[in-house]
Chain A
């Protein structure tokens, strides 16, 4: 092949490859747009409800993908009420929605917002990376959110999360990194401390979360006024306190190899007894208590990218898990 032939071949390859990439992309975008039906006028917020509801992120393909939706807790298979609020992770209490969002665009950023019943954004904070976990205290006074720390920073810092607690009154209780971590009573100065998955109790001074360092994780009990985090139990992540405050459900890494496999476990706080529940799938979620005896969590569908289902499981492990809401993630129960 002489120089001229090489140049012509290179030109043809450029046209074919860049043209092919553009064609594939444009076809996919056009296909997605035609699939979206004319946007229906969706309510801006959850609105007022008298009965207990399960609020979640709708993951059914179509125009309503990624929007916050809800169903009555008594009838999870009922037609879902979809709102016009897009969230990637959601937590709800009566009259308040905590929405963690990927603000998509060429310059993609991340945020956490509090949205009231009418759909008005009451407060918003930037996040340093992908949304992970969101929780609101039962009285709606405290918001806890976790995000990853992403960007190019990722490669140099390694896996890192940022967990923060703020108050409805505007008080910023800060990043958990600024709390004192006590591991078995000893203050930890480890460089690789990480925190995620806040859950609140009836006492607005006390919360639980996950602390990690040196490849180990702990369930920690946080004290907002003392600014301390005290380890309660090892190998427990993304805790969730039961409505009566007597038990904590969490995901527990039961893998003996480097790649994690999480099962759901429930710890009885008075007895100190841990029960690992019978769903053997790898479950990576912060579970939610539907009532005193039932847990909810999302499991990704294997047949579609970005789609998942919410499953229910008896908290005492007496029965296998059941499908609760199809095409949904991030379940959160609102008790009026």
Chain B
């Protein structure tokens, strides 16, 4: 992980020539996300344990809260994008989002009982919803047309390193202190506060819309109709349809664990494997996207997802099958997550990027929620393997159609 990390710093040798063009602001935003993800994922990983063994409650009500916040966070994300564009102050809107999540951690130190913990988690997720779009708008504003997807790749790599490291840190603490939840909460708070401090001090307060204007020109305002670019609409349609056929890693892991004793043993940690593959591929696939067309890579990335379905549906199991599946899932996220934000940023005028990115991300989030719910029914009605085969077939058709539909989105200058 450190090798990949070094390659993004200006001091890196060898391949630094290409990568150093990624703005230092993007790297700082990545480090802020890394710290924040260590903070939130360390708590998220041990939360079921804390609720059941420390608070002595079953986790039934938690699933309910989880579903609730998914819906609320979609609305907050749109609101965060709108506020960022409206004020032309993405840094401060993002800071508010990070700050809200950090404050929630203070509350976690004194919260006792299920209701308080659920409230803290909800506030934390609201902060996450609020900050995502303005932060991605800052990344867009700090990049140029030739390295946009690579910039998002750098950010997502750092972000995912934090997401992989957080749970390991939490379980390390618990392995030394079986009831050391307070230590995890304090460590989590320190990481969250550090993220906020670094963002406040080191990230320049870009004004994406104002910067595009000649001095003295009238200040344009944010308008929803600025999101009317037909390319953005086509992207959202494509991404939305593909998202409905993205069933959620959890189901894939459940299929794997049924077949393979290796996957059954490591089931609770399979997502860490996916995250590792994600951060390894994030920068290389971002570079490929900048070079060969972001929209094309976005669609082709879904072939990795299709591959993961196919591998999961194989009648055999084992270490190789499990690891191949996790690598394919990680590659899928690396080819689509940051690339989607880069595309949405590309298809909206400066000063409207936060709203455009928020709209595209929300379409994907809602699509995946619908996909996961629908797949849940298919899972019981048709059986595990049959359900995976059916959704894989549908995804194959959708990818073929998307490869045609995506052509107008691949600008000739990017290909050249």
Contact = CB atoms under 8 A, between A and B. Distances in A.
Contact of B250 (A10, A102, A157): A157
Interface stretch (B49-57, B280-288, B334-342): B49-57
A250 to B, nearest CB: 14
B49 A102 contact: yes
Interface string A6-22: 11011001100110110
A171 interface: no
B143 interface: no
If over half of B's interface residues share one DSSP class (helix, strand or loop), that class is named, otherwise mixed; here it is: helix
A65 B178 contact: yes
A10 B249 CA distance: 37
A66 interface: yes
Interface in A147-168: 148-160
A24 to B, nearest CB: 5
Nearest to A111: B265
Contact of B52 (A25, A130, A153, A158): A130
A21 B186 contact: yes
Given A105-B175, A258-B64, A24 B187 contact: yes
A109 B268 contact: yes
Interface residues of A, number: 61
B63 interface: yes
Nearest to A88: B53
Contact of A132 (B52, B168, B181, B267): B52
Contact of B254 (A29, A32, A108, A153): A153
A323 to B, nearest CB: 16
Interface stretch (A189-197, A220-228, A270-278, A313-321): A189-197
Contact of A305 (B48, B59, B181, B269): B181
Size category of the B interface is 35 or more
A115 to B, nearest CB: 19
A92 B409 CA distance: 64
Contact of B60 (A29, A109, A159, A298): A159
Contacts of A13: 194, 197-198, 201
B216 interface: no
Given A9-B201, A306-B54, A128 B267 contact: yes
A284 B257 CA distance: 29
B261 interface: yes
B63 A191 contact: no
Given A156-B248, A191-B381, 13 more contacts: A14-B194, A17-B193, A25-B187, A28-B183, A29-B177, A104-B171, A110-B268, A129-B268, A130-B49, A130-B59, A151-B253, A151-B267, A259-B114
Interface of A: 1, 6-7, 9-10, 13-14, 17-18, 20-21, 24-25, 28-29, 32, 65-66, 88, 102, 104-110, 126, 128-130, 132, 148-160, 189-193, 258-260, 284, 298-300, 302, 305-306, 308
